[in-house]
A and B are shown apart, each in its own frame.
Chain A
Amino acid sequence: MTEFEPKIVGFLCNWCSYAGADLAGVSRYQYPPEIRIIRVMCSARVDPMIVLTLFKEGADGIMIGGCHIGDCHYISGNYHTEKRAFVIRRLMEKAGLEVDRFRLEWISASEGERFASTVAEFTEKIKELGPSKVMEDSDLASRVGAAVDTSLDFRIRALLGHEVGMIEDGNVYGEKKTEDEMREIIDAAIEDEFRRSLILEITSSKPASAKELSQVTKLPTDRIVEHIATLRQKNLLAVDHIEGMTPYYVALRVGGD
């Protein structure tokens, strides 16, 4: 049996963590070799869709590295990254993927040693978790697929895009409350959209009844029926056929490949 070699992708911002990784090199801090780094200009560039898509395709671990809060090269980029990481984690939870497979770290250009130790620690964690099961477990795969779709949902993205602004404008009245409120709103939206995405994901491969959907999604049938109504309204779901009295639904992919 060969030892598990995790596939770990690191997205590092050019100005801080990528520079920190360079410094780790210049200082010859040794760390485990599994991580592969992709350079981006700002950690805020990393669309949650990209992270979730790579999880869907079998990544064992993904790390995003940015500048420390307050030190962002682009003033406030990492603030947005933090909000996006929240959504990534929530969606991982919902999909049943271990949240620890994802990491957001602030590493400055002068923290070479911290970069090395962070990678060592993260690699160790991923080895503990073992290989991602996405490629073998088709249920998990469709749930992660639903997470990807959710990350592309208009409502989630718009909420996320306005979150920072809303919190900042709410500052005068007490930031904390507003931040919590925003989290709640986003949380609720993620929950709804994830379930709908999951329904679409499941019904895109094979027609399913409300009851079957309720079993797979672990939601009560009446909630499923609500979601089905919404999806039908949006023209994303249609009745495929009826068995006895039970309608079977199928996803309508718009402009899909």
Chain B
Amino acid sequence: MEPEEQTPETPIEQEEQAPQTPVVQQEPIAEPPVEPDEEAPETPPTPDSEELRIGVFVCHCGTNIGGFVDVPAVVEYVKTLPNVAFARDNLYTCAEDGLTAIRDAIKEHKLNRVIVASCTPRTHAPLFQGVCEEAGLNKYLFEFANIREQCSWVHMKEKEDATRKAKDLIKSSVSKAALLVPQEEMKVDVVPRSLVIGGGVAGLSAALSVARQGFDVHLVEKEGVLGGFTRNLNSLSLGDKSAEDTIKPLIEHVQAHENITVHLNSQVESVSGFIGNFDTTIVTNGSSKEVKVGTIIVATGALEYIPEGLYGYGMYDNVVTLTEFEILCKSGKLPKIKNVAFIQCVGSRGQDKSYCSRICCVISIKNALYITENFAEIMGEEGAERVEVDVSVPEISSRRRRRRRMVSAEGEAAPGPAPTGGPEITIFNRDVTTYGADHEVYYNKAREKRIRFVRYTTDNLPKVTQEGDKLVVNYYHETLKTERKLQADMVVLATPLIAPPDAADLSKKLKIPIGRDGFFLEAHMKLRPIDFATDGIFVCGTARGPADITESVAQGLGTASRAAIPMARGFIQAEAILAQVDPEICTGCGTCEANCPYGAIRLSDDGVAEVLAAACKGCGCCGATCPEKAIQMMNYTDDQLLAQGRSILQGAM
């Protein structure tokens, strides 16, 4: 009876088969509840007094569950559980016939609670909840039992134990389902206006796209100009124009758009409220302005890591970072150089920061090619006067420092007689990360142009010293297994992008998390890469981690469309997993207020705690500490959790 050929063995295959139905790809709770289908009939709340009629649908998931759990035996067992009015198995519950079976059974057997025992609620709860709603059952009367990821797939050699566990898990869900109550999702109006923080390419693209969709935008940039980090750059990888010319049209469109108000030299001072209704204060040169917005896009970018003390940086004049190198090129102040060494992964991948900054390999190659392609120009310039080069990157006031450099054919920085022949460029690397097809071609081009790639390992880091007036890179040749020396006129260090120091401040103001590496942390790495867990706030560009301009712009456009969803709809429905205060028990001690990470619970004027439904994320932190136990979490009440725990302790037969 088991159709082997159509039985997917891996979740990937299964995912491909299942969606004959509109599978909701987002996460269950994760998805800000803005897209439930409007045609769904209003759910009649189930009266408390009504007799409990629980329906349980146990899924084979092909052989994914059925192969390791005795599903028919589980179904027979489930039928004996209290309040279970109906139980059956399905080959694929998420396929159209499986969903129809749920719909039909709800009507036919007058089910008022539904449990699906199958995969994981993290991916499939919205689908089944939707089916319940179609059949007129409030979606909060649905409960999941995870018998695939947390049972059949992890106990593949113990069918008996796995079967017993599946029974237990369903029993636990049945005991919770008996205590579920229908919930109304609250409708909250959304202000059709966005706040975009940061005027780099990501923020600019986001602002323009939101504005073009017809919404107002307030763009806040802390510097006096738009353009962000890209303003420091000389050329762009894979681009034929200078960095400045490339982004110029974007800046102009933003400045010209009637829906966009640009606030330069400005900062967001405070933010309160929640999706649809954020109250923000923008401070410009000491004077502040209140702006009410519905959504917020964070595009505050990143800075370059300063490799103080690494590879002679700060010690020798001609050891510079990639950004400094680009500024020198851009301002035409590059000394005459023939031998150039790039060192990759400086301060990244474990040297200080743990991560790989992704884009620096391509950037080094870009600059190496720039030298090669403009060599005549670079070497041709005459003149031996001293120039002052201000290589401070405008964003980083703390690192402003001035360097003096000899620009001279005979000078210190570019010593020796005017060289003949082409440049000698070496890129010292640990691995070359030129991801993507175009960048791979770029890498090949560099090889064609005779740029040398020399590998080093962390056991043998290259050392930069000065011998006489020349920079020397001492390195260990991995293939030849010998120590070698390379003379260089300039050493360029590829350092990672790092989160700006004030990101932590913004994190507190907006109540958005920062990940381990200091960048803003998205709600879900795979499924919600540009959302924050806090509804209505989105992130794009290098604020969320190293990215090039193409990626930053794509993310910027992405956030614009994410932000537009609730604004176009005009209202949001707040997920009803909320804290609920019993005003009779609450003594107004304020402990909950001190615990809520979202400012979603506060003491009202009459000294009783009140929950701001649209802001509450349902974490339950307040409830677990309320000294009076005046708070319950809807859908995760103490009683429900205890009932689950108790039923587990009793165990299945």
Using CB atoms and an 8 Å cutoff, list the residues of chain A in contact with chain B. 7, 9, 11, 14-15, 18-19, 21-26, 28-31, 33, 36-42, 44-50, 53-54, 57-59, 68, 70-77, 80, 84, 109-110, 116, 152, 154-155, 157-158, 160-162, 164-165
Contacts and interface: CB of A to CB of B under 8 A. Distances in A.
Contacts of B11: 26
Nearest to A49: B638
Residue with the highest number of chain B CB atoms closer than 10 Å, among A49, A50, A77, A161: A161
Interface in B119-158: 120-122, 144, 146, 148-151, 153-158
A160 B626 CA distance: 10
Interface residues of B, number: 65
B595 A9 contact: no
B70 interface: no
B149 A47 contact: no
B539 to A, nearest CB: 14
B651 to A, nearest CB: 7
Contacts of B619: 41-42, 44-45, 73-74, 77
Given A7-B651, A26-B11, A77-B619, 15 more contacts: A19-B122, A22-B120, A23-B149, A33-B155, A36-B172, A44-B624, A45-B620, A49-B638, A50-B645, A68-B516, A75-B598, A157-B591, A157-B627, A158-B591, A162-B591
A25 B122 contact: no
A54 B629 contact: no
Given A41-B577, A74-B533, A162 B621 contact: no
B525 interface: yes
Interface stretch (B87-95, B160-168, B186-194, B344-352): B160-168
6 contacts: A7-B651, A25-B150, A29-B154, A54-B642, A71-B515, A165-B594
A37 B525 contact: no
Contacts of A25: 120, 148-151, 153-154
A interface, by DSSP: helix, strand, loop or mixed?
A: mixed
Nearest to B521: A71
A73 B516 contact: no
Interface string B430-472: 0000000000000000000000000000000000000000000
B153 A50 contact: no
B642 A50 contact: yes
Contacts, number: 177
B513 interface: yes
Contacts of B533: 15, 73-74
Contacts of A14: 29, 122
B150 A22 contact: yes
Contact of B628 (A38, A57, A154): A154
A101 to B, nearest CB: 13
A133 to B, nearest CB: 15
A150 to B, nearest CB: 13
B169 interface: yes
Interface string B588-604: 01011011011000000
B630 to A, nearest CB: 11
Nearest to A54: B645
B620 A36 contact: no
Interface in B606-653: 617-621, 623-629, 633, 636, 638, 641-642, 644-646, 648-649, 651
Contact of B621 (A36, A49, A59, A77): A77
Contacts of B165: 33, 36
B511 interface: yes
Residue with the highest number of chain B CB atoms closer than 10 Å, among A14, A19, A75, A84: A75
